[in-house]
Structures are given as C-alpha cells and as structure tokens.
Structure 1
Amino acid sequence: MIEQVLLFTLLTSFLVAVISSPFFIPFLRRLKFGQSIRDEGPKSHQKKSGTPTMGGIIIVLALVAGTYAMTAKFFTVTAETNLLLLVTLGYGLIGFLDDFIKVVKKRNLGLTSKQKLLGQLVIAALFYWGLMDIGISTKINIPGTDFGFELGWFYPVFVLFMLIGASNAVNLTDGLDGLLAGTAAIAFGAFAVLASTMLHYEAAIFSVAVVGAVLGFLVFNAHPAKVFMGDTGSLALGGAISAIAILTKMELLLVIIGGVFVLETLSVMIQVTSFKLTGKRVFKMSPLHHHYELSGWSEWRVVMTFWLVGLLFASIGIYLEVWL
C-alpha cells in the first residue's frame, strides 16, 4: 500500500513541476525576473545574467500538490505534515521576499542578513511550538548506535540552530546549474527511504513529494539552465530537510546525508577564517563548487561529481540507520 502511495506522490509532484514550468518560466521572463550575477563570482557566470529566477515557486507548488493530494487521499492530514509544510512555506516565503527585492532593485542583495535571520527565527520558533504540541522527544540519537543523549532545555536552541544552519547551508550549494536540485533529490530520497522504514509515513510522503518536485524542476534547471530556483527554492528545501530530520528523530544523521551541504558551508567558514587571520585564501573561491570551477573543471563535471559525492553520503546514512 505505502509503496503505491509513494510512487503516486512522486509522479504527481514530478508532473506538476514538469507541466507548470513551460508556462511559468515565460511568465517570469515577461516580468523581467532575471538573475543578477555577482561581479566577484566566476566570470563564466556573467552570461547567465537575466536567466529567470524564483523558480523555487514551481518546486514549492509541486511538492505541496503531491503531499496533500496523496496524504488527503490515503491518510489523514496530520500535525506532522502541517509542520513540514509550515517550515517549507515559511522559509520559501523568506526566500521569495529576498528574490523579489533582488529582481526589483536589479541587484544581488535582497533582504539584509538581520531581516533574513529574524524571519528564520520566527518560523523556527513556530515549528518548535508545534513540536512541543505533539510531544516530540528531546533526546538525540547517535547514528549507527543504540545510544543517545537528552538535551532537555537546550533542545529548542538545537532546533533553531538546525533549521537556520541547514537552510543557509543548502542555500550556499545553489551555485551551479542543477547542482542543488540533484543533491537535494538524493538527500530527500534517502530520508524517504529511512522514514518509510521507520513507519514515519507522513515524512516519507513529504520527502518523496520533494524528490518529484526537484526532479521535475531539474528538467529545466540542468545545464544550460532555463530557470534558477533562487532563494525561494533553496531556503525552502533547507528548512524542509532539517524539519524532516527533526520530526523523524534523525537530527545528527542530517550531517551525514547532507554531507555535500556541510562541505560547502565548511569551505566558506574556512575561507573567511583563513583570510581574516592570515590574509590568505585556502580555496580559489568559496563555496567549494566554485573552487573546482576555477581549477579548470567544466560546470557539468563539478555538478556530476557533487551528485556522486551526495549519493555516497546518502548511502552511508542509510547504511548506518538501517543495517548497523
């Protein structure tokens, strides 16, 4: 039963994304919602300037359609499903406002960092309040073991850190055509497998809906991209994957399954720290995918390599949770 539901969910969100994109992309182009490219970024990216952005709206609409269509048909829409959608839509809205300001002002700066952080904190606080309402455990499990530790009063801080950290980490990964869409599909696919195995069917359905949505979007986002997801998509995906990890009590496993996102974030932290302390840069450019670009790799080679690394991390995560 659940296998058929997951398959129908995947197909529904995929088809919604694929069918709506050819209508939505020209609409964005007519509104002149084009991407502004950073002057300090790789010079090869300047030709991408003007490519329609805010395509994350397609992803969000498709995953919501897939989630509600299948959940409402085969199950009761639960508080867990609504919490997942709260974080996804909330962080997606923050990203939308950021993208909207960028395209209207024709610059690469949208919301200020303080404004963005405030919005993320508000959504995270609402999510935590919902977690307490359903009585979620404040114990953290160690992947691959039967051990765990109780966070108690520190758990809400941990939840806030996870949501904000994951959304920003995923956002950093969105820098090449198809890079984030592919790595996100792999990571959410891993959580779908684990959630289904652990009988967290709401999270499994939601995860599969995201996979279908980003794969449908990838049809138009693969190199050369016809549309970018923008912060609308990347922040929504980052919030969604951390919310899934929290609701299924696989918080620490997110670090492994989302290993690509972690590496991208670490590269930025290392670059900034090194430059401030020594005046020297460790990488040619951060986040990490730009380092390989400037090392002579083609964009497609970088993307494919990161997809394979993401698949390796996802496989390790599944192995630790299921077979150990």
Structure 2
Amino acid sequence: MEYTLDMAVLAILIAFCVNIVLCPVFIPFLTKIKFGQNIREDGPNSHLKKAGTPTMGGIIIIISFIISSFFFLQDNFEAKLVVFSTLGFGLIGFLDDYIKVVQKRNLGLRAYQKIILQFAVSIAMIYFIVQYGDYEKMHIPFTDKMLDLGGLYIPFLLFIIIGTANAVNLTDGLDGLASGVTALVSTFFIFVSWAVGSGTLPVAGAATGSLLGFLLFNAHPAKVFMGDTGSLALGGFVVSMAIILKLPLFLPIIGLIYVVEVLSVIIQVGYFKATKGKRFFRMAPIHHHFELKGMEETRIVTLFYVITAILCLVGYLGTAGIF
C-alpha cells in the first residue's frame, strides 16, 4: 500500500472532528461524576484553583485516535503496533487515574505495580518488534549510518520504552503542555513516515488530529486534563513511532523537553537524598521550577512549544541521510 500525505490529512481531520464532538459531551459527564483533579498542596499556589477540573480526558484522546486509526489498520503491522503501545500504556494510566480519582488514593498505583505493568506492556511490544519486524538498526542523526547494538538491542528497547513513557507522563503538568509538545512531535513523525513510506503515517496523523482537538479544551485555562490516562498513552505512542521509524536516537533531539523534564526529577531526588533534605530546583519537574521563579504558566508552555518546534526542524534536517 502506498502511504500518502492525503492519508495523514484525512486521519488528522477524522480524529480532530471526533475529539471536538466528544469533548463537549464527555467533559460535563466527568464533572457530574466528580472525576476532578487533585492538586498537590506543595505545588504552586496558582494551581489550587484548578482543583476539581475534570481529569482522565486522555480517554477522549485515545477514543478519537483509535476511531481515526481504525480506517487504516487492515494489514498494517506498523500501525497496529503503535495502537497497541498507545492503548497498553493508556490502560496503565487509566488504572492509576481510577485509583486516584474514584478510590481517592492520591498516589494511585503503587510504584512496584506501575513498574510491573509497564514491563509487561514493554515486553509484549519488544516481542512483536523482534518477531515481526526488522527494526534492530537505528539511524544515527545527521549521518547516513546506522547503529546496530546486537545483543544490547532488547535491553536498550526496554530502557527507552519505559523511560520515554514516563518522561512524557512527567511533562503533563501545565495546561496544554504535554498535548501541544506531543502534537509537534507527532507532526515530525508524519513527515518522516511519509518520506520513508512507513505504515505509521496514518496513526501519526490520527494522533496529531486528536491532540489538536483536545488542545481546544486543554489549553489555558484548561477545561479538562488528560491525566495519566492520556500522558502515558502519548508516551507509548511517541516511543513506538520512534522505534518503528528506527529513530530512537532522535528522541533526545525532538523530545528534548521530555528528557529535561525527567532529568530534572532525577536530579531533584538524587540531590535531595545526597544533601539530606536540600533541593536543587524549587520544585520538579522543571516546569514547576520556572513557575515558582515567577514565570507565567502560558509563557512557560509557549517557550516549550517553540523549543520543540525548532528541535523538530533540527531533527528533520538530521534525517537527511535517511531519505
């Protein structure tokens, strides 16, 4: 099958339309059943007014993504793998949100439960990747060369899948931040998929359309949050796209915001333990550090959008040796 940009545009439009139809119906429903966001007491004071805002809006993202993708799956293994990854991590996020919101246990899934579930989804992904695909070699940015990790490939995949999913999850902390940044990253994947003729093209379009529709309701001031349901699903989407397109080494470029967010948490925790209680940042992830230093939420989000857009362009230049 030939994958054209028209196919991606159609997927974008379907997902976008489904999203803007579902959100006005689903958001009042979430409010009615009191699926409201809990706000950290030690967080920025400006976030306290967000308490009670409907969460678990990631369900809308996933539904519109699946409906749009459905029209293009057929015998498309690559698209099916992306959908599986998105759904798998989205389900973990849903369980986490359900425990937080419905069972009123603020921490959600326990750490060991999250790790076990994420390992299970990751191992299933790796099985399908190794058994049915040919993705062992990875493109090296700005060259026409490829990296073959040999026996280290599977451990590398396990690390990159879980790491990326959680990095995207940590990026979801400001109105429109994770959805906007990931919409830009998925647009990058659209053009790469089109250039190499990959079956991931329509699902990249479906993700972009879904996120653009969701942004209408998630941008500041947010009427709905995606919750871990959405952010973990997006992490699964981003990492599966990168693996299938053989672009894991591009993630630190196009997904620099994700990397910085997760590194800020690692640094904060490590420094806190090493100094017995001192903090390196005012608060982690780093977007909260900027907030507590006085930057407006919308300015931080815009800054992160611009950085991501520029780095996606840089990343596209880095693919010159692939096409």
Q: Same fold (TM over 0.5)?
A: yes
**Paired residue for 2:64, among 33, 55, 62?**
62
Q: How far is the alpha carbon of 1:208 from its aligned partner?
A: 1.2
Distance 2:42 2:223 in 1: 23
Distance 1:282 1:154 in 2: 33
| Alignment correspondent of 1:233 | 230
| Alignment correspondent of 1:163 | 161
Identity %: 46
| Alignment correspondent of 2:250 | 253
Alignment of 1:1-324 (within 5 A): 2-69=4-71, 71=72, 76-200=74-198, 202-278=199-275, 279-322=277-320
Contact 1:53 1:229 (8 Å CA) reproduced: yes
Segments of 5+ residues of structure 2 without an aligned counterpart are none
TM-score (norm 2): 0.95
Q: Secondary structure at the match of 2:320?
A: helix
Contact 2:135 2:243 (8 Å CA) reproduced: no
Contact 2:144 2:321 (8 Å CA) reproduced: no
Distance 2:61 2:75 in 1: 20
Contact 1:99 1:231 (8 Å CA) reproduced: yes
Segments of 5+ residues of structure 1 without an aligned counterpart are none
Q: How far is the alpha carbon of 1:219 from its aligned partner?
A: 0.4
* Letter matched to residue 19 of structure 1: V
Distance 2:262 2:169 in 1: 9
* Letter matched to residue 182 of structure 1: G
Q: How far is the alpha carbon of 1:322 from its aligned partner?
A: 2.7
User: Residues 269 and 126 of structure 1: is their aligned pair in 2 closer, same or farther, counting only changes over 3 Å?
Assistant: same
Q: Secondary structure at the match of 1:149?
A: strand
* Letter matched to residue 191 of structure 2: V
Distance 2:24 2:75 in 1: 31
* Letter matched to residue 33 of structure 1: F
Contact 1:68 1:77 (8 Å CA) reproduced: no
Distance 1:318 1:291 in 2: 30
Q: How far is the alpha carbon of 1:323 from its aligned partner?
A: 6.8
Distance 2:208 2:320 in 1: 21
Contact 1:14 1:215 (8 Å CA) reproduced: yes
* Letter matched to residue 77 of structure 1: D
* Letter matched to residue 271 of structure 1: Q
Deviations 1:252-294 (A, max 9, x none): 1112111110011111112122222234322211111111111
Deviations 1:190-244 (A, max 9, x none): 11111111111x2121111101001100100011111000000000000111001
Q: Secondary structure at the match of 1:105?
A: coil
**Superposition RMSD on alpha carbons, in Å?**
1.4
TM-score (norm 1): 0.95
Contact 1:38 1:108 (8 Å CA) reproduced: no
